[in-house]
Amino acid sequence: MSFAQQSFGKLSRCGLAVTLAACAFLGLATESAFAQDTLTIGDKAPELDIEHWVSDRDGDMPHVTKFEKDKIYVVEFWATWCGPCIASMPHLAELQDELADKGVQIISVSKEDLPTVETFLKRKVRGEKEKTYGELTGAYSLTTDPDSSVSRDYMRAAGQNGIPTAFIVGKTGEIEWIGHPTYPKGAMDKVLDQIIDDKWDREEFGAEFKKQQEKDLEMARVGKVLKELWDMKEDGDAKGALEELDIFMKDFDKDDEIYARLSMVRNQLVMEVGGPEAVKAFNKTVAETENPQAINAMAWGIVERVQAGDEIEDEMLQAACKAAKRAVELAEKGGNDDGTAAIMDTHANLLFLCDKLDEAIEVQKAAIELSDDEQLADFYEKLMEAKKKKDA
């Protein structure tokens, strides 16, 4: 370990950095719970078991359990904290007014508790002086189902994670369409018109929708595996995680997009494990990345490992230093002075770790000229102190 590494804990500024390793894992490892038998287009719509019917168009709309033949239903999922859901409400009210006499019933389902929903409904509609959300949504069936049974039967079963999401149940009680109720603008309205007029091509839509569902299911499977590998790595078994990942990657064609993303994760695990392949993996990832912030995160990750007391091989320190320099060059093209200064700070830290104190001082001095961040100035002063001691 070099003198710089030994004394680095006293010199380094404190900072928070998310390494590319974490980004690579978590970018795929969002947990998504899909039912084994995925609900999709053409399937019989599950019955509704809704706990609280808050509004029902002044009694004109039935509290639906089973879907009636020749009627059309929009089962839409929303929440009081969801901005796009709230923004969709005026259109849903207008749509219900327009289609009520054509056998269409809109049923909006939240899974929040009743008091939360009732409190929200007292709020004034944005842009309106008098009308509340309770009055606005009184035009259709607004409900809440705190035990989440309906959400499980629809959202979870269909692999849908974001709200608002609408399911159109057609005249035969089968799922005709799944999508956003207001985006793209008018898309759901056109589908409803075609279903009303018996002109909707469910088969064509279903074929495309199922392709996307299959991709989502595969990504969910990958995400679950990567979450497990991430936990292994966090528990200190990066080598075991790497071995498991190598086995898992055999399931994918090398030309597959998922394989490419898994390869990026593998590079990060190799770096965690260390050894001869680590520097090669680090350099490969840097070479394939054009985002200066991502490269900076990788380089700063090496700095953080030194801060944590890890002994980093000189070859890796040199590679990280070169990476930080490249990140600075890329950042300078972007014209963001504060962003460039932060990356220069990473470069200066690594130059110091590589026993290039004079170069570190010059780079940090340039960083200070771009930003008034006090932490940059503090580190510059500490570098100057180190120089005085070295020259003494």
Cα–Cα distance for residue pair 136/173, rounded to 1 Å: 28
Q: Please report the pLDDT score of residue 356 as a whole number.
A: 94
Could you report how far apart the first and last alpha carbons of the chain are, in Å?
22
Category of 82 on φ-ψ map: left (φ > 0), alpha (ψ -120 to 50) or beta: beta
The residue among 304, 293, 303 whose CA lies nearest residue 326 is 293
Using alpha carbons, select from 243, 262, 349 the residue that is nearest to residue 303.
349
pLDDT digits (tens, 9 = 90+) for 131-153: 999 999 999 999 999 999 999 99
**What is the average pLDDT score of the chain?**
86
Reported confidence tier of residue 7, pLDDT bands at 50, 70, 90: very low
pLDDT for residue 44: 97
Which pLDDT tens digit goes with each residue over 297-356? 889 988 988 888 888 888 889 999 999 999 999 998 877 777 899 999 999 999 999 999
| pLDDT score for 62 | 95
Q: pLDDT band for position 35 (50/70/90)?
A: very low
* 247-263: average pLDDT: 82
Which has more confidence, 25 or 182?
182
Contacts of 291 (CB under 8 A, 6+ apart): 330
Rounding to the nearest 10 degrees, give the CA dihedral for residues 64, 65, 70, 72: 60
**What is the predicted pLDDT for the residue at 160?**
87
Query: Tokens for 250?
Result: 């055999």
pLDDT of residue 391: 86
Domains in the chain, please, with CATH?
3-29+214-391 (1.25.40), 52-200 (3.40.30.10)
- pLDDT, mean of residues 265-285: 81
**pTM, entire model:** 0.57
Q: Can you give the pLDDT at residue 3?
A: 40
* Higher-pLDDT residue of 120, 256: 120
* pLDDT greater than 50 at residue 376: yes
pLDDT per residue over 152-186, tens digit each?
999 999 988 889 999 999 999 999 999 999 988 88
